[in-house]
Structure 1
Amino acid sequence: MTPRLPVSPAPLLRASSAVLLLALSACSNDNHPSEPAAPRYAAEIRRTAYGVPHIKADDDAGLGYGIGYAYAQDNICLMAARIVTANGERSKYFGAEARGVTEDAVPNLASDYYYRLINEPEAVATAWQQQPAPMRALVEGYVAGYNQYLEERGKAGLPEACKNAAWVRSMSTADMMKIVRRYAAEGGSGHFIDLLVAAAPPGTAAAAAPAPRRAGPSPIDPEYWKRQHARIGSNGVALGKDATENGQGMVLANPHNFWKGDLRFYQLHLTIPGKLDVMGASLGGMPMVSIGFNKDLAWTHTNNTSAHFTLHQLQLDPQDPTRYVVDGQVRSMTRKRIDVEVRQADGSLVTRSHDFYQTPLGVVMRAPDELEWNRKVAYTMLDANLGNHRMLEQWRAMNSARSLDELRAGIDRIVGLPWVNTVAADKDGKTLLMDVTVVPNVPLAKEKACVPDRFKDAAASAILVLDGSTSACSPDNDPAAPQPGIFAGASLPRLERNDFVQNSNDSAWLTNPAAPLTGFPSIVSIDAIEQGGRTRIGIAQLQARLAGTDGMAGRRMSASQLQGLLFSNRVYYASQNMDEVLRACDGARQVQATDGTTVDLTQPCASLRAWDRSANLDANIGFGYFSGVWDQLYEADLLWAVPFNPADPVNTPRGLRLDDAARVNSLRTVLANAVLATHASGWQPDATWGQVQQSERGGKRIPIHGGRYEYGIYNVIASEARASGGREPTEGSSYVQTVMFDRNGPQAQAVLAYGQSVDPASPHYADQTELYSRKTWPTLPFTETQITSDPAYKRIAISRKVQ
């Protein structure tokens, strides 16, 4: 056993009657009246390179306390804003029409109405009451740690982003429950906020107001979810004893998320001696490891394609559109009025109100021209995850699992994962994929019987609109499930292998092509469908490595080769279609674009031929030209020469349809359009991708490799045009980790692409962004010796008495 090290108080912490710094090595005896009482909360925070906190405590309360304090040190402004959002108070401080930092954020007023609805006091109290005692202790400790740091710094001592801000306040356990419920809703009703707020009874002034319309498809369009799964998705690979060089397990974690806002990851290492020792990353504010490893196994998550909600078509009472008919009985909707304070331009506050209409089948919504609320029908949205109070318990069980069997049993029993697959491997070289999440229990027979004909096509893509006029069409209850109306864990997809399992946000079907997962209800997993480019390139690279056909020695995978699978930045669809694109270069050099502009293809074609078909930093402008071509191919009706074949899903579809001169000329026009668009974006012919896509950090621009999911790039990075030129990354690869087990335990390497802190003054604001740019994978210090010998090692001890 490693001896406990002597502890010295943190030099910058100020004492108060409620805040006392104690040496954790000091002994105390509760039975001796002359000695002080033991602190209610105590923890050690040891920092290593890049600001990663290793938090150690004797119990759950102390662990949560250390996590809350450490997170506040790095991201107190982000957490304070998260509290404001989850409480529906953005309009109070930032105005009604402003939006959050992500591109798909809704206006503050709509956000506030929604979060006040789902986080009403009764729902929050229920969530808290259903937390097991250890989870309550963890949350209470987290709240204490966060509040202590805020007390010590004071509002005047906070980072510039929230210094002396009126919206910064202390945290409560209710705030944490609201944040957890917000995360749970990310896979369901969180996508419907504008549609829920748009609903109003026909004949009212609110119903007559024009409903907001989205620029792209709505959440009732399967294309919307296809884009979401691909865009804010992930890659996960687990390799077993038949695939790794040493015959033990190995995992690649590559979650894709926003680089700004609430869904940023945070690295941490959590230890309760003899009880818990787990390292990895967590969604900000969550008091455990979401993706990571312990001494026995490693895991990651990918967004799954299961639907976590159902829509219901209500038959209305002709006399009253707020009454509906179920099983021949007329029932009344429940009106729920939500009041929100809104800051005006002059700083004054006014109260705005909105009425939601609720039923046991969910909240009434409105999708303009698609699902309208008229005098005959209305549509409700039922989010199964709003009844999921088990997320904290679920991840905690995963953190402490000692084998894949224990991991699987815990996921099956708790069913607390809201919307993510689990991809895992253990030290013995076994792998596991589990597509076990909170999914409405709609068996295939019920889908066929209960989905009106108008919505059959959407149902084939897991968007279920069910007949709400009969209770027989409500989701089933399974006594083996921990929550009414959802599938039991054991009935959902999983696959165990000794070679590999993988997922890149397609359904569970092609987890491993050697053992397809078939026969599940549409709402769970759809089989025999075209796979995305990331799934195809991921499987293709794995198969080539294990077959020894990738040009490298051997037929087993090393950790560096697994990392190369991600950071090769290959543009998959270029490998499938570039030969045809280059055929367009073999004809006339002067080609007219769609707008009539004549484009000389001499230089663009030379760049395309020279391009290495990657999104690496040194990729030439050929990447831009190909991207512009690919963006147009669907509309130009040039896809595919070889159609999708379910019997060959990795290699089909492929090729461009250039079977006559007209199609070749059409492709030349597409290429001319792409050249104009690429030059208009500011990409100069002699510039590289690394000179175009850069993360601006403290006045410095850091080149960022990777590219958009649409092009089949495994290492997804999406970026937007910057007013001053170039492109700024907005989302994509975030916490990137590989874990390899050997005789010495887990050997983990990881990089957090955007760094630990959102504070520009922090040394950890951009340090890992530089690493990501250079494709550097730091080794994570996991053992006590590794931690204490880290050159950046720093340690503080914190404690708190509750008066």
Structure 2
Amino acid sequence: MITTHVRRLAAPLVAVLVGALLVAAPAPAQAAGGRYAADIRRTEYGIPHILAKDHGGLGYGYGYAFAQDNLCVMASWALTLRGERSRYFGAEAMSDDAIDPISNLASDVYYKSVQASGVLRRVLARSAPHGPSAELRALVDGYVAGFNRYLRDTGVARLPDPACRGKEWVGPITATDVWMNLLDLGRLGGSSSFKEAIAASGHAQEMEKESDQPKRKVPPKTVTAPGSNAYALGHQATRDGHGMLLADPHFPWNGSRRFYQVHLTIPGVFDVSGGSLYGTPVVQIGHNASVAWTHTVSHAQRFTLYQLKLVPGQRTTYLVDGRPEPMGRQEVSVTVRDAQGATRAVTTTLYTSRYGPVLASGWTEETAIALADVNAANLRFADEWLAMGTARDLAALRRAQDTYQGMPFVYTLAADAGGEAYFADASVVPHVTDEQAERCRAKDDPEMLILDGSTSACLWGKDADALEPGIFGPAAQPRLTRTDYVTNANASPWLTNPNAPLTQYPRIYGDTRTERDLRTRVGLDMIAQRLSGDDGLGAPGFTLETLQQTATGKRNLGAELLRPDLRALCRAKPVMTASDGEKVDVRRACATLAAWDGRARLSSRGAILWREFFLGLNGPQRRPDGAVVPPKSWWKVPFDAEHPLTTPRGLDIANPAVATALANAVQVFTAHDLPLTLTPGQAQRYGAVPVPGCTEGEGCFDRIRTGGSLSKKGRYPDVNTGSSFLMAVELTPTGPRTRTVLTYSLSANSASPHHADQTELFSRGQWVAERFTEAEIKAYPGLATRSLR
């Protein structure tokens, strides 16, 4: 039975299955009767409030509004999802995936293979909760019709965004594009991070068959998904006894993984405001009148690798329980345009197993590696978000999660008007118990779990309360409900609330009693200081205003923990030796760091010098002879599992790497004639707007990340990731009070008035007072309404 269950799961999971026919893209979808109606009302900063009488109309208004602001991004992403980038932009150019860009050819092969596998067709053929509900289908069809209505009304040649105006690759989208976008979102923590290895499997098999090179090992694969911060506050943590929520997702600032701010209303049925990822017609992070929720990226694994034992002399046949199984073969054809504009077809053969696609990495004469992705056939999360949007309290929200069991790769944190706070890893996780992980481990790889694929005893298991075979059911999930608080900053569930540590969950969900990163620690310390009143923001307990101030305080925990010892080193050694042996006078630098306010505000003088020192301290060290050695621990007090919130701490100034890192940083500033007082406002930008903040590694809460190193002119490349949709909600008995800021603004169109207006707010530390009720919306003096019929 286990074999049968997992085979049923594995078949739709596979990104690459046997099948030669591509799924044809259907014509743009229409609702029954072809009739939709919606009102688009825009308030401050262009924020759209969509009003409709049914889900089809709601999608119609949403699709139209989104196209007004971001049509070019979606048009480009649709090409990616169809596997058509090489046709228009060439095979070697990089794809538009903001999280994991790869060559267009590799991207196209991967996405064509997903289409050809038939996985989407099979999922759409299922009824809810396994497949989409009628409401979700209507929402998607309406969204497509609204998007295409705007394109038809405007015309490609008259689009306001110069990025795609008049381009041959711009055209209507289809329902398949939207469903593929949702499917791809679910795979973000699994298959999507292995696109290159999947797309190259056939090539690798042929090359290694003919090669005399040593056998390759599977390289460590770090699945890089966006991060986030979140607080859910119960009545014991708030000054007025109201439930409160802070959402601070850290997603890309460019491309298809940006948030779009929207308010969706069907009177008496659905009323949700929040952030929705591009091209998805549902709100992922938001609130209704009495419940608010957000997500952070979970530590749980979304996939397992299986090591296949190959039949001697047969590199595409493997053994299971001693019986040979041939790998599946899939021919994928991609149209490629060359530099002269001519097109040709490039055909690639891909391979799959009962577990999932076979990867290019690790394929030898004896073994191969296959990927089993628990989210490869999951669209349930879209209905789960719709159901969460109608929840009136946390009990109803939990029922929604138990019904659909579809969260793809995120924790859920929520609060309600009754003053309760909730945390759960209700995400989809492969059913691998601790006992099975140890029994089936094929090799000792600290980076990921590689199971023995030669025995059916290592297939994923099943829980009685699980909606689908192969996943853990709700009873196994780490969950915590409190009346004070729960929080997460992408760490494992262990210290969601240090007063009630979570420990009883399978290790595939995450670790316990291990060192917490500095962002997690500073987030917990911010809560502790607010509850004690020691943060200088007034009486203990959160209000909406102090929640905003706490979230954007720009603390740098690394500096708080290390600067006192660095001052002692500065007093003892005013001249330090750089990696190249040069003697560097660090007295001015030490004075700058001593005078720095310890924050990452626009005007914080010395914050960039600290960052360069800190990055150097954490990076590989270069000795005077040129040899590069890995960094050694420079903490004075090591991590202690009994004191996880206060260790490690202190700077081991006896470690020579500390002085070297400071000397190196000063050397760079001096060589390029950069002021040691360089501020974030001078060094960090998003377009023309200066951006405050510091990096996650330094111990910053609302962190930012730039695309590279500090230049000789004292500038980092533009910010490309970080706090994206900040939302602070107070759930009062009379309705929600909400403050938001969309850090990169509503529109990717550089010609739009809403291209950088909220970015400027974020730069100044300001927020938008959300308009949620009808009275609030109608009270906006500049209200603009577009009625679509």
1:34 aligns with none
Q: Is the 8 A contact 1:288 1:399 kept in 2?
A: no
1:644 positional shift: 1.2
Report SS of the residue matched to 2:426. coil
Q: Deviations over 1:639-671 (max 9, x none)?
A: 22211111211111111223x4xx3x5422221
- Closer, same or farther: CA 477–636 of 1 in aligned 2, 3 Å: closer
Residue 405 of structure 1: which of 392, 395, 411 is its match? 395
1:332 counterpart residue number? 326
CA contact (8 A) 1:19 1:148 kept: no
What does residue 543 of structure 2 align with? 558
Letter aligned with residue 695 of structure 2: R
Residue 732 in 1 paired to residue 733 in 2? no
**Counterparts in 2 of 1:403 and 1:448: CA distance versus 1, 3 Å:** same
Q: Displacement of 1:553 after TM fit?
A: 3.4
What residue number does 1:108 align with? 104
Q: Which runs of 4+ in 1 moved over 6 A?
A: none
Give yes or no for the alignment of 1:178 onto 2:180.
Answer: yes
- Give the match for residue 777 of structure 1: 767
Confirm or deny: 8 A CA contact 1:682 1:725 kept in the other structure. Answer: no
- The answer as to whether partners of 1:415 and 1:438 remain within 8 angstroms in 2 is yes
Alignment match, 1:81: 76
Question: 1:508 maps to what in 2?
Answer: 493
Partner AA of 2:373 in structure 1: D
Distance 1:63 1:121, change over 3 A: farther
Displacement after TM superposition at 1:151 (Å): 0.6
Q: Does 1:374 align with 2:364?
A: yes
Which one of the candidate residues 386, 400, 423 is aligned to 1:396? Answer: 386
498-507 or 582-591: bigger deviation: 582-591
Contact 1:236 1:504 (C-alpha < 8 Å) held by counterparts:
yes
Contact kept, 8 Å, 1:604 with 1:622, in 2: the verdict is no
Take 1:666 and 1:177, find their aligned partners in 2: how far apart are those partners? Answer: 51
Do structure 1's residue 467 and structure 2's residue 461 form an aligned pair?
no
- Whether 2:776 is the aligned partner of 1:786: answer yes
Partner of 1:744: 734
Alignment-mate amino acid for residue 72 of structure 1: A
Deviation at 1:417, TM superposition (A): 1.1
1:624-703 alignment, distance < 5 Å: 624-633=609-618, 635-658=630-653, 660=654, 663=655, 665-679=656-670, 683-696=674-687, 701-703=688-690
1:106 counterpart letter in structure 2: I
Secondary structure at 2:165 match in 1: coil
Aligned residue in 2 for 1:147: 148
Q: For 2:555, which of 559, 562, 570 is the aligned residue?
A: 570
Supply the AA of the counterpart residue of 2:157: A
- The structure 2 residue matched to 1:94, chosen from 85, 89, 108, is 89
CA distance in 1 between partners of 2:112 and 2:525 (Å): 46
How far apart are the structure 1 equivalents of 2:181 and 2:607? 44
The answer to whether structure 1 residue 293 and structure 2 residue 287 are counterparts is: yes
The CA distance in 2 between the partners of 1:774 and 1:84, in whole Å, is 37
2:609 touches 2:677 (CA, 8 Å); kept in 1?
no
State the partner residue of 2:586: 601
Task: Give the corresponding residue for 1:161.
Answer: 163
Is 2:519 aligned against 1:525? Answer: no
Give the TM-score, by structure 2 length.
Answer: 0.90
| Amino acid in the other structure paired with 2:141 | E
Name the counterpart of 2:200.
Answer: 198
* CA distance in 2: counterparts of 1:218 and 1:326, whole angstroms: 21
CA distance in 1, matches of 2:522, 2:610: 21
Q: Is the CA contact (8 Å cut-off) linking 1:719 and 1:729 kept in structure 2?
A: yes
Q: How far is 1:19 from its partner?
A: 14
**Rounded Cα–Cα distance in structure 1 between residues aligned with 2:112 and 2:171:** 18
Contact 1:62 1:141 in 2 (8 A): yes
3-state SS, counterpart of residue 787 of structure 1: helix
> 1: distance between equivalents of 2:736 and 2:367?
57
Q: Which residue is 1:26 aligned to?
A: none
Q: Distance in 1 between matches of 2:767 and 2:204?
A: 58
Q: Residues 261-320 of structure 1: CA distance to partner in whole angstroms, max 9, x if unpaired?
A: 111000000000110011011001111111010001101110111110110011110020
Q: Is the CA contact 1:54–1:270 (under 8 Å) kept in the aligned structure 2?
A: yes
Residues 47 and 795, structure 1, Cα contact 8 Å, conserved in 2: yes
Report SS of the residue matched to 2:239. Answer: coil
Task: State how many pairs are aligned.
Answer: 739
CA contact (8 A) 1:708 1:716 kept: yes
2:693 touches 2:702 (CA, 8 Å); kept in 1? yes
Distance apart, 1:39 and its partner CA: 6.7
SS class of match (2:294): strand
- Separation in 1, partners of 2:157, 2:124: 32
Call closer, same or farther: CA 1:314–1:203 in 2, change over 3 Å: closer
Q: What secondary structure does 1:417 align onto?
A: coil
**Conserved? CA contact 1:192–1:219, under 8 Å:** no
Cα distance in 1 between the residues matched to 2:174 and 2:205? 42
- Once the 2 structures are TM-superposed, how far is the Cα of residue 551 of structure 1 from its aligned partner? 3.8
Could you tell me which of 264, 274, 293 is aligned with 2:268?
Answer: 274
Distance 1:682 1:392 in 2: 53
Q: Secondary structure at the match of 2:389?
A: helix
1:591 to 568, 572, 576: 576
Q: Which runs of 5+ in 2 are unaligned?
A: 1-27, 126-130, 620-629
* 1:387 aligned partner: 377
The aligned amino acid for 1:496 is: T
Q: Which runs of 5 or more residues in structure 1 are unaligned?
A: 1-17, 21-36
> Following TM superposition, by how much is the alpha carbon of 1:593 offset from its aligned partner in structure 2, in angstroms?
0.7
Q: Structure 2 counterpart of 1:301, which letter?
A: H
What are the superposed Cα offsets for residues 767-801 of structure 1, whole Å, 9 maximum, x if unpaired?
000000011111000000110111231001002xx
Instruction: Check the 8 A contact 1:621/1:683 in 2, yes or no.
Output: no
Output the CA distance in 2 between the equivalents of 1:594 and 1:116. Answer: 49
**SS of 1:528 mapped into structure 2:** coil
- What is the CA-CA distance between 1:552 and the residue it aligns to? 4.2
The equivalences for 1:22-41 within 5 A come to 40-41=35-36
Q: Do the aligned residues in 2 keep the contact of 1:200 with 1:206 (CA within 8 Å)?
A: no
Query: Structure 1 pair 391/243, CA: closer, same or farther in 2 (3 Å)?
Result: same
Partner Cα distance (1:187, 1:109) in 2: 21
C-alpha deviation, 1:682, in angstroms: 7.1
Give the CA deviation at 1:97.
1.1
Structure 1 residue 340, shift from structure 2 partner: 0.6
Question: Deviations for 1:144-170, whole angstroms, at most 9, x for unmatched residues?
Answer: 101111111111011211111111111
Q: Quick check: 2:29–2:141 contact (8 Å CA) kept in 1?
A: no
CA distance in structure 1 between the aligned counterparts of 2:184 and 2:211, rounded to whole angstroms: 28
Aligned counterparts of 2:230 and 2:670: Cα–Cα separation in 1: 35
Q: Distance in 2 between matches of 1:300 and 1:175?
A: 26
Quote the offset at 1:41 in angstroms.
0.5
**What residue is the counterpart of 1:706 in the other structure?**
693
* TM-score, normalised by the number of residues in structure 1: 0.88
Q: CA deviation at 1:636?
A: 4.1
